[in-house]
Amino acid sequence: MVAVESPSMEPHMSRGDLVLVMDEERFSPEFATDDTGVVTYRTGEREGYRSSGDYGDVIIFRPDGSDRETPTIHRAMFWVEEGENWYDRANPDHVLGDDCEAMPNCPAPNAGFITKGDNTRHYDQVGGISRPVRPSWIRATAEVRLPYLGHLRLALDDGVTAKATAT
């Protein structure tokens, strides 16, 4: 279980919601990205796969793989390969600048998922939250939202909560 700490996933998850999670590889559909168990927004849109109110999976991950950072809970938008210029594949509303060179983490410094909060303007990789999310940084996928029950967990602040990071 994780508690949502910010409004970055609204309207599908709100601050204070408790989210039940599952290992990302458990019960993953055949169209998940390679052997990661994660379905991206783009694949979900094509396959009709929805999770947490929209296409694709919502993942809980450690930004840049750091154990010192609070985990982030955001949607996996699409996959990039190391060295890939992903600017032209990105939604222009969620990037900065006019080309790859003007944008952080482009070309991609490593293979991984481009992620974004449902209520944030830019991709996490543009907003400075994380490099492309490597599969090894993913802790789980969001499965069930329990409104308001996370307030208790947030009050306890036990250091095991995940946040929906606002940018």
Per residue in 69-85, pLDDT (tens digit) is: 899 999 999 999 999 99
CA distance 129 to 116: 10
CA distance 65 to 55: 25
CA distance 63 to 139: 11
How large a percentage of the chain has pLDDT more than 70? 93
3-class state of residue 21 by DSSP:
strand
CA distance 17 to 6: 10
124-142 pLDDT, tens digit per residue, is 999 999 999 999 999 999 9
**157 pLDDT tier (thresholds 50, 70, 90):** low
CA distance 91 to 99: 12
pLDDT score recorded for residue 151 = 75
The token pair at 122 is 């830019």
The token pair at 138 is 């993913």
3-class state of residue 27 by DSSP:
coil
In this model, does residue 8 exceed pLDDT 60?
yes
Of 94-98, 146-150, 159-163, the poorest mean pLDDT is in 159-163
In this model, does residue 163 exceed pLDDT 90?
no
91: left (phi over 0), alpha (psi -120 to 50) or beta: beta
Give the residue among 49, 12, 37 at the shortest CA–CA distance from 135.
37
**28 pLDDT tier (thresholds 50, 70, 90):** confident
Give the residue among 8, 39, 13, 24 at the shortest CA–CA distance from 127.
8
In this model, does residue 88 exceed pLDDT 70?
yes
pLDDT score recorded for residue 25 = 77
119-128 pLDDT, tens digit per residue, is 999 999 999 9
